[in-house]
Structure 1
Amino acid sequence: MNKRIGLLLLPAFLCTAAWLPGDPLPAITRVIDKFRKTYPQEKVYLHTDKPYYMAGDTLYFKGYVVNAEKNLPSAISNVLYADLIDEHQHISHTLRSPVTDGMATGSMALPDSLPPGNYRLRAYTAWMRNFSSDWFFDKTIPIGSSSNTQKATDKTSRPAVTQFFPEGGQMLEGLPARMAFKAVGSNGRSIAIKGQVTDETGTAVVPFSSGFGGMGSFVFTPQPGHVYTAGITYANGATAQVSLPQALKTGYMLAADNRDSAQVKLHIATAGVTAGQATLLGLCNNKPFFSTTISLLNGEASVNISRNKFPTGIAQFTLFTAEGIPVAERLVFVNHHDTLHVAAATDKKVYRPREPVTLTLTVTDIHASPVSGNFSLAVTDAGMVKPLQPEDASIVSSLLLTADIRGYIEQPGYYFTGDDTTRANDLDNLLLTQGWRRFSWTALQANQFPPIAFPAEKGLALRGKIISATGKPLPGARITLLPQQGDGYMMDTVTGTAGEFVFDDVQFTDQSSYVLQTPLATNSRATIQLNEWLAPAVLPAAWHNNSHEQALQHYITLNQPVLAAHRKQQQDAGRELEEVVVRSKRQSRVQEAVAPSLNLNGPGQADQVLTYEDLKNCHNLASCLEGRITGVRFKFIEDKSIRPSRVVALQPFMASGFNEQPMTVLLDGVEMTAATGLDMRSFNAADVQSIEVLRSGRYLAAYGTKGGNGLLIITTKKGGIDYDKVNDQSAQTNKLPEGVLFVKAMGYSAVREFYIPDYAVDGGKDIRSTIYWKPVIRTGENGTATIQFRNADNTGVHQIIIEGLSDNGKPAKQVVTYEVQ
């Protein structure tokens, strides 16, 4: 995703009104404190069991949801969303997972029909949607298929491009300036370049060449009245001319020297500025860690800041004028090398196929003290799945770096694999060239804070409103949520002043079926409108970068036997299904009509059955049923608490019953009662597919006390039948009784348990790319955990990848290997 922006929007800053007269620092501090407390930020990281997959695989993941300020498990959101996005920016799969103590688990079954390509795995919370989607977790997941020779490769083709970024946001005439650059090739990956800066006369000024990631920087002094151009030669021999940003006559510059192990050295320079003071503010994850008022001597000043003032991560330094206008910004990375150490020891170095493995984890901090935390583990066959490289992305590089930078970061793990000067300089170049900010100083200064369109979710919710017959919102109306089947529970609430309602923390699972119902007054017919859940917009990715192409093809080749066995199982299942379909065509019209019934005795197992054919030319269901159902009478229910009394409902009763209680009515499995507005007059006969009447004890016994007064089981039309052949008026409109709404809600997605065959039952060959997946591992106060699993029939080197987070927000990654012979 192309998220690259300039570091500063200087014209916008300069046009903004200044802070109130006096020292601007208190006002600056107040506004940033308000932002971070009112809008706490979240980060998400997903640990997947493999870096790439093939159609037919199951993708397993562990989600880490943290508060961005300290990387502690987030207490903000309890629901995590994960989208699988194809190369056409379409969402192929969406999952919802419950978040407990900042952790979530999930799985995606990738169908065999899934087209190959470079997919994106995107994860976020509802709260994160209030801010830019740039801060969502977004990872490229190549997916291949042996049934299609198309490779999961980059389908985009763009010209190579090089961008230049002045340190701090701008250059000033006559002052030394650092200019950073980044070169990206036509495939979206970095490309090596070299070149020469010249002025408008063609005079050479300074040469330059790129280092890691196609990035680099150089220092030169732009002279008044001159224009500078970079002549570039790419690694493939192509050439280009790029104009450098124009140096300004007046303004501010902010430069940083991040090479000292004890302190960060900042230098401020100005041109054409008469003010004698400026303010410097240092943030990390939106929290202030340093601030000072600076006296400018001859327009310059230097500030040395102890690195110990900041935690590990990106430090953002912003320079403000004496009036409080932000004019320059610089990012530096502070690294205390305080990530966790994970010692992972297997009980043996060499195993046999199917032999059990005992793995002991010992997690300690920088002081060698034991650490409690939450971790996840994947064991893969290194011969089938490309071993994780040190430069690959991990929870460490994500939470400490990429989650706080806009734009695609190539091989982010590279910056955390050593402590040498070269890597430190490369990381500094990265921060000079990548746009970054979770907020705009201009907006905060104007007291413009983000609107909260998506409240933090403590659970899944159903939201909507009730509209009266006149089309106006209906306040103060009671609405009930009932499960259509299963072990769900009933909830009710009352609408607000705008007719709105919300059911919080509803325990949906997958595609759950619920009924929303509101009692109906005789002079009013209400309509229930449910808010539609829409996924965040999918913005085009900057590049479909696939560094696993060859490894993916190798993986597909080795997985052929597994895929063949899987397809044979599907073919066998398909033949069985065809036989079922053939038999179903021989069903009678009655059997066909009652097939979707939720009758506990079985569809059609009742004392009397009526179908849509029996309701031909009916409009009001109660009037149609009167006299057609044996042993049932319909009785008007009066409200005698008012004078004169008023009929409020028409309900069915057993004709021979001595108990003056109505029969139980089940509408598509949901019990309709007087309390929830049961009125047989409100049912449209054209919507009914079948009615089953239960009067005798042999059928009522299955319903216990609910069957004490008899049952009517009403099943609405489900489609798949040509109703028009027998009833011209029963077109398949699927209209529902007024005041009733059937809901198919996407709930928490079921997590597929990682499959481990029982060798006592299944003695076939067991070859798997993922040998073991365990998403939840807890280390206690002693910092240890023991995991046991069994090898498959794979031989060769196996790789164990451990990722996780301590209870105090420190990330960890470890990779170890063992061998199976």
Structure 2
Amino acid sequence: VLQILLLDKAGNALSERLVFNRGEELATTDMQVRGSLKQRTKVTLAVTATDPDGRPAAGDFSIAVTDRAAVPSATSGSIYSTLLLTSELRGTIETPDWYFEGQDAARVAALDALLLTQGWRRYDVPAAVRGEYATPAYPLEVGQEIAGRINKGGLWNRRKKLDRYEMRMIVPRWHYSLQAPIDKEGRFALNGFDFPDSTLYVLRPAAAKGLLPEATVKVARDSFPEVGTLPRVPETDAASPYLAQARHYIEQRGQTDMRNILIDTVYVTHHKRLESTRPEHRLAAHTWDMQQIKEMGAYSIMEFVQRMPGMNFIGGRLSYHGANVSFMIDGVLDNTTTPHSADADFQAGSTIGQLIVTGTKKKSMTEIALERGGLEPDKNLTMPICTTWPMEWISRIDLIAGGNMFLWGVFDGAIVSITTKTGDELDQALAVAPAIDVSIASPLGYQTPAEFYAPAYATEKARRSMAPDYRTTLYWNPTVKLDDTGQAIVEFYTSDAPADYDISIEGVTQTGKIVQRRQRLRPE
């Protein structure tokens, strides 16, 4: 849709209108079907797409195979009319695909009349030419965001010099960390990340000389725009083939079909503990499970590791029999580091490391080790961020030493393998904040994709199953990838319904051309 505007020298609009510009937007698509269309048999679909200039059309596309008798053709618009027409107009367009089913004079005139009556300004061009436009109130979103503010405890200086601190965030399930500055008012905003829904984030303020004592973190609630009027959906016919077919299935088969399966009663009498097959577990020289970790009484991983046989933490350096120590999280070596020093990471009120009280002064384990060893701390020392995690997040810790470390490319020292809790166990551990200066957030994230279910009749026993199969959608995949030659192979199994299917493919190529094709499949 083109917006043509006539202006005078002063920038005033004299005349304007919308015009549809027809071009070669469509790519050429071909579908070849191999295999029989008998009940419960495999069908192979070969898809080929080429650009208007004849080159292979690579990209990701969606393919759907539906029962033609049960699923009516879409009337709300295809990808072609949606991208090129209805998304540029305001209001409801009745049967938008009709305007592109041909290029006869009647359709061309009707499309022109549609743009004259349904046209609207997306931008006020005359005002923009005169410099009269409003700056967007919100920045461009590039992912999720967690915003809020901090408050210092105590009676005095609650909001004094808060910009000295920064907000640190850890996502334990995905081994991700991030930090952001805090302004003078205590406000912060963490953004630029994107994780699935129900992910838990741990937030805590910190400074160059340690954590902020007696601070509270308040996270702002998510806000969402109001939902506008949804597009009109055609009214369903009570006597439609789908409803009639569904009633017939229920009468013949009862409530049991492919969408409602009654399974036999299962009695669980004993839970057998299976040995782990993960290499970091099988090759470990020493192992501590959750019960042993709890009995040790350590709060953080760093404190726990220092109690392992052969470990030494002197001069701000952790070693195993004098050699370096590597850390592994759920089978992956951890390379994320954070600065560590004797006067910062193990201070009073910190949830990182164990504090030992000597007289009236609290000293960290690092300070005591330095005093006994007569060594100077390494101010530039860095340690993996996982060493600061509380033990409530951990389900198992293993120590790998000797030749078994070669599997991960480590040739000296030792590997501390950390296995985190998963699922509900991790959520419960994170839900209990270890201190007042820790906040747990779980903003709305993207939905984890689920694979479309379709039965496979690969064996004769499966084909003879008595469970009825009257699927209305036989195959659906929103991300079928065409290779560099513009080809893809799709396989699916037919159902018990008579073979009369619609195959549709839609998408946009890497060069911006639209792929749209609908083909009918029926026995010859």
Say if 2:27 and 2:514, in contact at 8 Å, map to a contact too.
Answer: yes
Cα–Cα, structure 1 residues 347 and 329, in superposed 2: closer, same or farther, change >3 Å? same
Task: Report the 3-state secondary structure (helix = DSSP H, G, I; strand = E; otherwise coil) of the residue aligned with 2:98.
Answer: helix
- Give the partner amino acid of 1:533: D
Deviations 1:164-216 (A, max 9, x none): xxxxxxxxxxxxxxxxxxxxxxxxxxxxxxxxxxxxxxxxxxxxxxxxxxxxx
Residues 522/379 of structure 1: CA separation in 2 closer, same or farther (3 Å cut):
closer
Between the aligned partners of 1:353 and 1:786, the Cα distance in structure 2 is: 21
- C-alpha distance in 2 between matches for 1:515 and 1:548: 48
The match for 1:534 among 219, 223, 230 is 223
**Is 2:99 the partner of 1:393?**
no
1:566 is displaced (CA, Å) by: 6.7
Does 2:32 match 1:345? yes
Does 2:115 align with 1:427?
A: no
3-state DSSP of counterpart to 1:453: coil
SS of 2:20's equivalent in the other structure is strand
1:652-671 matches, within 5 Å, as: 652=354, 660=365
- Give yes or no for the alignment of 1:451 onto 2:136: yes
Q: Does 1:327 align with 2:14?
A: yes
List per-residue Cα deviations over 1:598-632 (Å, max 9, x = no partner): xx9568995499xxxxxxxxxxx9xxxxxxxxxxx
1:703 and 2:387 equivalent?
A: no
> Residues 357 and 649 (structure 1 numbering): CA distance in 2 closer, same or farther, change over 3 Å?
closer
What's 1:480 paired with? 168
1:812 to 488, 503, 515: 515
Q: Which residue of 2 aligns with 1:438?
A: 122
Partner SS state of residue 398, structure 2: helix
Q: Deviations over 1:702-756 (max 9, x none)?
A: 3236999xxxx9x9997xxxxxxxxxxxxxx988732110122333311111112
Q: 1:376 to 1:756 in 2, by over 3 A?
A: same
Equivalent AA in structure 2 for residue 320 of structure 1: L
For residues 54-93 of structure 1, the C-alpha deviation after alignment (integer angstroms, 9 at most, x for no partner) is: xxxxxxxxxxxxxxxxxxxxxxxxxxxxxxxxxxxxxxxx
Contact 1:359 1:786 in 2 (8 A): yes
Structure 2 matches for 1:624-773, cutoff 5 A?
Answer: 652=354, 660=365, 702-704=396-398, 737-759=435-457, 760=459, 763=465, 764-773=467-476
Give SS of 2:470's match. Answer: coil
Q: Please state whether the residue corresponding to 2:15 is helix, strand or coil.
A: strand
1:788 alignment counterpart: 491
1:650-686 deviation line (CA, Å, top 9, x unaligned): 865799xxx9579xxxxxxxx999968x9xxxxxxxx
CA distance in 1, matches of 2:174, 2:161: 32
Determine the structure 2 residue equivalent to 1:215: none
Matched, 1:510 2:197: yes
Residue type of the alignment partner of 1:748: Y
* Residue 377 of structure 1 pairs with residue 63 of structure 2: yes
Alpha-carbon shift at residue 472 of structure 1 (Å): 6.8
SS in 1 for 2:23: coil
Instruction: Report matched runs for 1:236-635 at 5 Å.
Output: 314-347=1-34, 351-388=37-74, 392-444=76-128, 445-457=130-142, 459-469=143-153, 470=158, 474-484=162-172, 486-496=173-183, 499-519=186-206, 524-541=213-230, 544-550=232-238, 551=240, 553-554=243-244, 556-557=246-247, 560=250, 564-565=256-257, 569=261, 601=289, 607=295
CA distance in structure 1 between the partners assigned to 2:88 and 2:72 by the alignment:
28
Summarize the Cα distance change of 1:464–1:559 in structure 2 as closer, same or farther, 3 Å threshold: farther
Deviation at 1:487, TM superposition (A): 4.5
Does the CA-based 8 Å contact 2:3-2:18 persist in structure 1? yes
Alignment partner of 1:433: what SS?
A: helix
Higher relative contact order (Cα pairs below 8 Å, separated by 6+ residues): 2
Letter in 2 for 1:770: T
Q: Letter of the 2:518 partner, please give it.
A: V
Looking at structure 1, the residues matched to 30 and 387 of structure 2 have their Cα atoms a distance apart, in angstroms, of 64
Does the 8 A contact of 1:317 with 1:329 survive in 2?
Answer: yes
Are the equivalent residues in 1 in contact too, given 2:342–2:366 (CA < 8 A)?
no
One-letter code aligned to 2:68: A
Alignment of 1:49-60 (within 5 A): none
Q: Is the Cα contact below 8 Å between 1:385 and 1:555 reproduced in 2?
A: no
Give the whole-Å Cα distance in 1 for the aligned partners of 2:20 and 2:29.
24
Letter in 1 for 2:168: T
Query: Residues 213-224 of structure 1 correspond to what in structure 2 (within 5 A)?
Result: none
Give secondary structure in 2 for the equivalent of 1:328. Answer: strand
Q: Shift in Å at residue 371 of structure 1?
A: 2.9
Gap change, CA 1:564 and 1:493, over 3 Å in 2: same
Cα distance in structure 2, aligned partners of 1:494 and 1:734: 25
**Aligned pair count?**
401
Residues in 1 aligned to 2:266 and 2:160: alpha-carbon distance in whole angstroms:
53
Q: What is the distance in 1 between the residues matched to 2:159 and 2:64? A: 55
SS in 2 for 1:377: strand
* Match of residue 305 from structure 1: none
Give the TM-score normalised by the residue count of structure 1.
Answer: 0.42
- Determine if contact 1:353/1:820 at 8 Å carries over to the other structure: no
Q: How far, CA to CA, are the matches of 2:427 and 2:103 in structure 1?
A: 68
Deviation of 1:377 (Å): 0.3
Letter in 1 for 2:397: Y
Quote how far apart the aligned CAs of 1:467 are.
Answer: 3.5
Secondary structure of the residue that 1:439 maps to in structure 2? coil
| Alpha-carbon separation, structure 1, partners of 2:491 and 2:212 | 67
Aligned-partner Cα distance in 2 for 1:364–1:780: 11
Superposed displacement of residue 343, structure 1: 1.7
- 5+ residue gaps, structure 1, are 1-313, 581-599, 610-620, 622-638, 663-670, 679-690, 693-699, 719-732
AA of the residue aligned to 1:428: D
Contact 2:66-2:501 at 8 Å conserved across structures: yes
- Structure 2: unaligned runs, 5 residues or longer: 270-287, 300-340, 358-363, 368-383, 401-414
Describe the superposition over 1:206-238 as per-residue Cα deviations: whole angstroms up to 9, x where unpaired: xxxxxxxxxxxxxxxxxxxxxxxxxxxxxxxxx
Identity %: 24
Partners of 2:167 and 2:399 lie apart in 1 by 25
Q: Which letter maps to 1:482?
A: I
- TM-fit CA distance, 1:471: 5.2
Name the amino acid aligned to 2:225: P
Superposition pairs for residues 71-150 of structure 1, below 5 Å? Answer: none
CA spacing shift, 1:562–1:339, aligned 2, 3 Å? farther
Distance of aligned partners of 1:365 and 1:562 in 2 relative to their CA distance in 1, 3 Å threshold: farther
What SS is found at the alignment partner of 1:704?
A: strand
Q: Say whether the 8 Å CA contact 2:59–2:483 is kept in structure 1.
A: yes
TM superposition shift of 1:533: 2.5
- Higher-strand-fraction structure: 1
Q: Deviations over 1:366-420 (max 9, x none)?
A: 45554333321000111221245xx651110011111111111111100110011
Partner of 1:799: 502
Is the CA contact (8 Å cut-off) linking 1:717 and 1:734 kept in structure 2? no
CA 1:498/1:435 → structure 2, altered by over 3 Å: closer, same or farther? farther
Q: What secondary structure does 1:517 align onto?
A: strand
One-letter amino acid matched to 1:545: V
**What is the one-letter code of the residue matched to 1:508?**
F
Q: Distance in 2 between matches of 1:431 and 1:382?
A: 33
